[in-house]
Structure 1
Amino acid sequence: MNVDRENPAGPGFDPQAQLARLATPERAGRLRHVEHIPARAAALCPWPDWVAPPVLSAFTTAGIEELWSHQRDAMDRAHAGEHVVLATGTASGKSLGYLAPLLTAAVDGAGAASGRGATALYLSPTKALAADQLSRIERLAVPGVRAATYDGDTPLDERRWIREHAQIVLTNPDLVHHSLLPLHERWAPFLRALRYVVVDECHVYRGVFGAHVALLLRRLRRIARRYGADPTFVLASATIGEPAAHASDLVGAPVQAVTEDGSPREQLTFALWQPPETDEGGRRSATTEAAELLADLVEDDVQTVAFARSRVGVEALAAGAARRLDARLHPGAGAELVAAYRGGYLPEERRALERSLRERELLGLAATNALELGVDIAGLDAVLLAGWPGRRASLWQQAGRAGRSGARSLAIFVAADDPLDTYLVQHPEAIFGPAVEACVMDPANPHVLAPHLAAAAAELPLTPADEEWFGADMVAILDVLVARGILRRRPTGWYWARPDRPGDHVSLRGTSGVVSVLERRTGRVVGTVDENSAHSQVHTGAVHVHQGQSYVVTELDLEEGTAAVVRGDAGWTTQAQSVSAFDIVAETAGADHGPVRLSFGSVRVRTQVTSFLRRLPGGEVIGTHPLDLPERVLATKAVWWTMTPESLAAAGIDAVDVPGAAHAAEHAAIGMLPLMATCDRWDVGGVSTALHPDTGLPTVLVYDGHPGGAGFAERAHSVIVEWLAATREAVAGCPCEHGCPGCVQSPKCGNGNEPLDKAGAVRLVDLVLDSLRGVERP
């Protein structure tokens, strides 16, 4: 079938008919569930009287003559000075909830001492989102309103004008950290008139990144008060569990939630799809299956975005779909119609792809969540999700990319071969029922709090009264910073004591830096990899894929932060192998439950990448090669449990089988944790042992993969019974005999998934659950 570019699916798109075309007899059994999310009528409200006439005129001229109920509720609360979070569905017009009060304040001049009107600061996690909001404000053309983006790309000669004249500044947390707060004297007129702070896509701020942003917002509030301002915070979020609690933790003050969505919505057909079993006993990969579905949809002229969980997965998905289209249509058709989009691309590459998608030159795009929070691309017909994206908020954010122009839409979740995905296709209520997971973060994490205290002291000397912003642990951490020569204590407070800037020593996004991937022959920057992933992704000998092109890493230089590559298809893939161990530093919480002890506390995890495997496309290992990389030590938080050998033996687990049972239980538990917390399995790690020197017992441990902890392990500790019950069901319900990626095998296991004992894992988890529930075992 040739693609008809003049007759797009558009408003006449029939998702159910399209799904029937995909679910052919040859694919029998793959379509596991179909959820028809019905259309919803709008709940309309009139505009409030307080909106400035020029603002109201601009919106009504743009065709917005009435509001949806959640927009009216949020803007009324914000106008009244109440911190508010608007947590409604994708494409529900959340931006109107904050734009109306921001623009009105700018027009009315409320709180202004300089005559330019009240000011507002808009924070988004991506530059693209800030650029989109600026474009919308400029299209409204409210007389007298001056708005501008201010980020690392802003020319120096424009920055002064923005500081002195702009009423609405659109930027990101990184700019606030590195520029606005350290140079707050230059921003004094803006800060003096600061009426609103908007935190868009606030569900993104979780874990360590969330803790950094929470402390950044406390620093911002502290400096604003220095200039006599007390801004109102308006936050926008995708649908998450407990949005008010999450927003309050971010801001450091009570925030009210608006969650009743009054926007209209066309019908969404949401399918759960499980790839078939392979002859080797596992299942076909979600990436391969999604590539085939993407090719089918593009061939039918259905404009589709396919989300994959990793950069490698995105490249493989796009390449797989392109190959199929080349074979079905004509050579080169795949490159014309399908592309990849992910982090690590250069800005000009991303902008070109976004433009091609908007103009419908591209019909298929494979993307990471770099697009999930990117530009507002309307009119897509379908979304494929190759594997669970890690969070329900991400799932609905990605699914919401389809149907944004008001047409019916199709979303297909393609299950990966791991415990959580397998569980979800068997339990649709876990996706479509009430939210279970919660955003978690820990602003009290000393690894995060200490550098922010140093930065705050450089901005304005700290005094004991600043415990209001930074908590009761502030003074103890300040004493450590003084002892290290980072701060100086004086009778009037704590002062920054070094010649450099404190902000240069901390990355808000929780990474210690980036490694540049350089083409050896030309010196061209191919892309970037965060430093924490470099050991496993761009070690010497690794195969690295960028925009469908394969490269082989010839040298990783950790001191220089570079990985040299040569272009060419090696004909195999690589997988790093590692060894891990842990030391228990302190048990913060612990309790005995019969033969089981459950604990939470601080640990040191020691990990070293020791070798890598070379695999042929079919998975066959053709070589193991040693690596000489340094050990990495992570001080973090963990949840762990121990079991007595006698109780394990009574549960039917012989001593020789304990390592495999504990290892399998550890893998499965990690795989199921995203059901309970807004993490994915790559945010956490695990170690298990039949005899740990610190406990003297068989021990299973799950830890946060971030220095100081990110809150995930603490959340796991608080919901241990629900978490392990779902884990047990996922493993016991898997039809495989000895264990597979759908239950106990892990894609990131440094030990090659050996040893694993599926039956033993079920017995071990049963023992732990019975003990926690107080059930007497015979």
Structure 2
Amino acid sequence: MTSSRAETLLSRLCLDPSRADRVTHVEHVPARSGRPADWPAWAAPLLVDRLRLAGIERPWAHQVQAAELARGGSSVVVATGTASGKSLAYLLPGLTALMDDDRAGVLYLSPTKALATDQLRAIRALNLMAVKAATYDGDTPREERDWVRRHGRFVLTNPDMLHRGILPRHGDWAPYLRHLRYVVVDECHSYRGVFGSHVALVLRRLRRVCARYGASPVFVLASATASHPEVSATRLTGLPVVPVTDDASPRGTTEFALWEPPLMPAFSSGQGGGENGAAVRRSATAETADLLADLVVEGARTIAFVRSRRGAEAVALNARRALSEAAPELADRVAAYRAGYLPEERRELERRLQSGDLTGVAATNALELGLDVSGLDAVVLTGWPGTVASVWQQAGRAGRAGQGALAVFVARDDPLDTYLVHHPEALFGRPVETTVLDPGNPYVLGPHLGCAAAELPLTEADLPLFGDEHEVRLLLADLVRRGVLRSRPRGWFWTSRERPEVDIRGTGGPP
């Protein structure tokens, strides 16, 4: 979609005179030309041929820079914009390693099942016989899990399954872990706060188990644009990480509109229905539903991001209801996409998204992360998503492959959103945030020390891996005092026949 098409869409949204004053600001984000590079000399010729057949004639410079670093043994974080092709940075070294060595393995970690499924689809589309790629997650049938353990070489999973299903049974994975060459951590900026601290410790446990089998895999992390990504990546992995931040991919123009819903008619006279008689604005979800329906009528493929599952369902339902009156033939081309669907329902929605059968989608942030949906024309953001990074991650879902795009931020009726739509410099003039996590948090570290001891007895040599040695010793002493671990001259041993119960989506436990 060209910039003029984006401008036309925005003007069509404002045709109704009552909408004229809802747009408080339009930010023009200019286009950028791409900077291609040559394929690395070490890349497997068959892989390069298949990538060319897939439409990638030449890689972008940042993809080659990151791939060269990983191939050379340096852990690397690629922190570039949405749709900049970060996946090629790890696929080049990873798939080449699998094609050069029939014992080598690659482990891919994704924060969502949808993203892992999308990556699996992309890898299988290359039709490389030497690459046995498979997902290993909660949707994987029991009978398939044995096959993945024995034969999988590019294994796609998530931190939860690594924590609960792979590390506690690492003996079953010994042949794979012994030859693990690369660990890919996709969308690593999503691992922040307490959850990010849990994931950081799961990755340290993975490194420890790999070392037990003689492997020292290179980590390749993919991140949205972030401030000092190497600092966050080092904190996440416990390893020195080299940043690649110079985005060489092309980008189309983006027209980014800030949109404030109107005051409710009953309250516009000043007799408000809010707290202390304050005026009340129309809900952002209702406004988003109307915008989604209007964009679908205009033929614009659109994703509307909504903060809750219920909100996503409400937006899709109301958009379909509006379309059933204005354009009945389009009503079935709008759907909700959120977590909580059955696997087969989610796969069918993803298929319809990929094929273009769906024109409008109301989604939670399950679609913010990386799922490759090409050809999108517009994105509607329903309320502040929490970070500047998420704003650009969501807005960047439209205009992939260098097309122009329209993004609309619809303010909720709260002080923060109201401030943002009237002070655009607070949004467009701000750098993206640094991802914050603390693997040294004793309420997180303590339980993971128990998990590590249950996997392999902890030794003195392991202590630096988990942070400050003095703090680690204090936590180990507490675990011994409580009978969780037993101290012996050779290290610390797990005492129970039961496996540790640690919820990495929770807040942690007693240190």
- Which moved further from structure 2: 473-482 or 78-87? 473-482
Which of 243, 249, 272 is the equivalent residue of 1:263?
249
Change (3 A) 1:356 1:436: closer
Deviation of the 1:469 alpha carbon: 1.2
Q: Does 1:23 align with 2:19?
A: no
Question: In 2 relative to 1, CA 151–213 (structure 1 residues): closer, same or farther, beyond 3 Å?
Answer: same
Residues 209 and 263 (structure 1 numbering): CA distance in 2 closer, same or farther, change over 3 Å?
Answer: same
Give distance in 2, aligned partners of 1:355 and 1:61.
21
Letter in 2 for 1:153: D
* Alpha-carbon distance in structure 1 between the residues aligned to 2:394 and 2:51: 28
- Deviation, 1:411, is 0.7
Partner letter of residue 358 of structure 2?
L
- For residues 289 and 451 of structure 2, the distance between their equivalents in structure 1, rounded to whole angstroms, comes to 47
Q: Secondary structure at the match of 1:16?
A: helix
Q: Are 2:95 and 1:103 aligned?
A: yes
1:143 Cα shift?
A: 4.4
The whole-number CA distance in structure 1 between the counterparts of 2:211 and 2:435 is 28
> Quick one: distance in 1 between partners of 2:120 and 2:156?
7
* Aligned mates of 1:187, 1:235 — CA distance in 2: 23
Structure 2: distance between partners of 1:274 and 1:421:
9
Change in 2 beyond 3 A, CA 1:294/1:62: closer
**Contact 1:33-1:428 within 8 A present in 2 as well:** yes
Residue type of the alignment partner of 2:173: W
Alpha-carbon offset, residue 87 of structure 1? 0.7
User: Is 2:37 the partner of 1:37?
Assistant: no
Counterpart residue number, 1:426: 422
Post-superposition CA distance 1:375-407 (Å, at most 9, x none): 322222111011011122222222122222543
Other structure's SS at 1:148 match: strand
Match of 1:123 among 109, 131, 135: 109
Same amino acid, percent of matched pairs? 59
User: Secondary structure of the residue that 1:54 maps to in structure 2?
Assistant: helix
- TM-superposition CA deviations, 1:126-165 (whole Å, max 9, x none): 2221222122222222342222222233344433433333
**Cα offset for 1:168?**
1.6
The one-letter code of the counterpart of 2:88 is L
Please give the alpha-carbon distance, in whole angstroms, between the structure 1 residues aligned to 2:209 and 2:353: 42
Change (3 A) 1:157 1:707: closer
1:27-68 deviation per Cα after TM superposition (whole angstroms, max 9, x unaligned): 132111111211211111111212122322322333323211
- 2:392 maps to a residue whose letter is W
Alpha-carbon distance, 1:339 to partner: 2.2
* Residue-by-residue CA offset, 1:661-709 (whole Å, 9 max, x unaligned): xxxxxxxxxxxxxxxxxxxxxxxxxxxxxxxxxxxxxxxxxxxxx5689
CA distance in 2 between counterparts of 1:73 and 1:211 reads 29
Residue of structure 2 aligned with 1:357, choices 327, 332, 353: 353
Structure 2 residue 342 is the aligned partner of structure 1 residue 346: yes
Cα gap change, 1:360 to 1:143, in 2 (>3 Å):
closer
AA paired with 2:117?
Answer: A
Aligned length: 495
Q: Is the 8 A contact 1:105 1:118 kept in 2?
A: yes
Whichever residue aligns with residue 173 of structure 1, its letter is P
Shift of 1:374: 6.4
**8 Å CA contact retained: 1:202, 1:235:** yes
Bigger helix share: 2
How far off is 1:484 after superposition? Answer: 2.1
TM-score scaled by length of structure 1? 0.61
Q: Contact conserved, 1:424 with 1:431, CA < 8 A, in 2?
A: yes
Q: Which whole-Å CA distance do the structure 1 matches of 2:333 and 2:147 have between them?
A: 43
Note the 1:486-635 alignment, pairs <5 A. 486-502=484-500, 505-510=501-506
Structure 2 distance, partners of 1:289, 1:155, is: 41
CA contact (8 A) 2:3 2:253 kept: no
Q: Structure 1 135/509 Cα, relative in aligned 2: closer, same or farther at 3 Å?
A: same
Paired residue type of 2:449: L
Q: What SS class does the counterpart of residue 100 from structure 1 fall into?
A: helix
Greater Rg, structure 1 or structure 2?
Answer: 1
CA–CA separation in structure 2 for the residues paired with 1:13 and 1:153:
43
How far apart are the structure 1 equivalents of 2:181 and 2:288? 47
CA deviation profile, 1:581-600 (whole Å, cap 9, x unmatched): xxxxxxxxxxxxxxxxxxxx
Q: Structure 1 residues 11 and 138 mapped into 2: Cα distance closer, same or farther (>3 Å)?
A: farther
Distance 2:96 2:283 in 1: 52
2:263 alignment partner, one of 257, 277, 292: 277
Relative to its length, the structure with more strand (as a share) is 1
The aligned amino acid for 1:187 is W
2:172 alignment partner, SS class: coil
Q: 1:318, 1:143 → 2: CA distance?
A: 41
- The separation in 2 between residues aligned to 1:38 and 1:349, in whole angstroms, is 38
Q: Which residue of 2 aligns with 1:85?
A: 77
Give the equivalent residue in structure 2 for 1:197. 183
CA deviation string 1:559-611 (max 9, x = no partner): xxxxxxxxxxxxxxxxxxxxxxxxxxxxxxxxxxxxxxxxxxxxxxxxxxxxx
TM-score (norm 2): 0.92
In structure 1, C-alpha distance between the alignment counterparts of 2:484 and 2:405, rounded to whole Å? 55
Are the aligned partners of 1:208 and 1:442 in contact in 2 as well (CA < 8 Å)? yes
CA 59–339 in structure 1, closer or farther in 2 if over 3 Å, else same: closer
- Tell me, yes or no, if the aligned pair for 2:261 and 2:287 is still in contact at 8 Å: yes
Task: Supply the AA of the counterpart residue of 1:171.
Answer: T
Q: Is contact 1:119-1:194 (8 Å) kept?
A: yes
Q: 1:330-341 counterparts in 2 under 5 A?
A: 330=328, 335-341=331-337
The corresponding residue for 1:478 is: 476
**Partner residue in 1 for 2:238:** 252
1:57 matched to 2:55? The reply is no
Shift of 1:409: 1.4
Larger RCO, structures 1/2 (Cα 8 Å, 6+ apart)? 2
For residue 429 of structure 2, what is the amino acid of its counterpart? G
Q: CA deviation at 1:11?
A: 7.1
SS in 1 for 2:170: coil
Query: Per-residue CA shift, 1:711-733, capped at 9, x if unaligned?
Result: xxxxxxxxxxxxxxxxxxxxxxx
**What amino acid sits opposite 2:308 in the alignment?**
S
Equivalent in the alignment of 1:316 = 314
Partner-residue secondary structure (3-state), 1:260 = coil
**1:81-134: CA deviation from partner (whole Å, max 9, x where unpaired):** 11100011111111000001011111222xxxxxx2321111111222122212
Equivalent in the alignment of 1:289: 287
Distance apart, 1:348 and its partner CA: 2.5
Q: Per the alignment, in what secondary structure is the counterpart of residue 231 of structure 2?
A: helix
Q: 1:171 to 1:377 in 2, by over 3 A?
A: same
Amino acid corresponding to residue 8 of structure 2 in structure 1: A
SS in 1 for 2:155: strand
Q: Using a 3 Å threshold, how does the CA distance of structure 1 residues 157 and 286 change in structure 2: closer, same or farther?
A: closer
Query: Within 2, Cα distance between the matches of 1:335 and 1:41?
Result: 37
| Whole-angstrom CA distance in 1 between matches of 2:155 and 2:321 | 45
Cα distance between partner residues in 2 of 1:707 and 1:162 = 31
Do the aligned partners of residues 441 and 52 (structure 1) sit closer, same or farther apart at CA in structure 2, a change above 3 Å counting? same
TM-aligned CA deviation for residue 424 of structure 1: 1.7
Provide structure 1 residue ranges, at least 5 long, that are not aligned to the other structure.
Answer: 1-9, 110-115, 511-705, 710-778
The change in CA–CA distance for 1:90 and 1:158 in structure 2 (over 3 A counts) is: same
CA drift of 1:334 comes to 7.3
Cα-to-partner distance string for 1:461-485 (whole Å, 9 max, x where unaligned): 0123222111221121122222222
Per-residue deviation, 1:362:
2.9
Q: 2-side partners of 1:285 and 1:409: how far apart?
A: 25
Cα deviation 1:632-656 (Å, max 9, x = unaligned): xxxxxxxxxxxxxxxxxxxxxxxxx
Q: What residue identity is the alignment partner of 1:355?
A: R
2:400 maps to which of 384, 404, 423: 404
Which of 219, 222, 233 pairs up with 1:233? 219
Query: Is contact 1:54–1:143 with CA below 8 Å preserved after alignment?
Result: no
Shift of residue 434 of structure 1? 4.3
CA distance 1:243–1:290, change in 2 (3 Å): same
**Residue equivalent to 2:275:** none
1:327 maps to amino acid: E
CA contact (8 A) 2:250 2:401 kept: no
Aligned partner of residue 44 in structure 1, secondary structure: coil
Choose which of 377, 383, 387 in structure 1 pairs with 2:383: 387
The answer (yes or no) to whether the contact 2:389–2:432 under 8 Å persists in 1 is no
Whole-Å separation in 1 of the counterparts to 2:313 and 2:139: 28
CA contact under 8 A between 1:13 and 1:409: conserved in structure 2? no
The 1:358–1:103 alpha-carbon spacing in structure 2 relative to 1, beyond 3 Å, is closer
Partner SS state of residue 181, structure 1? helix
SS in 2 for 1:383: strand
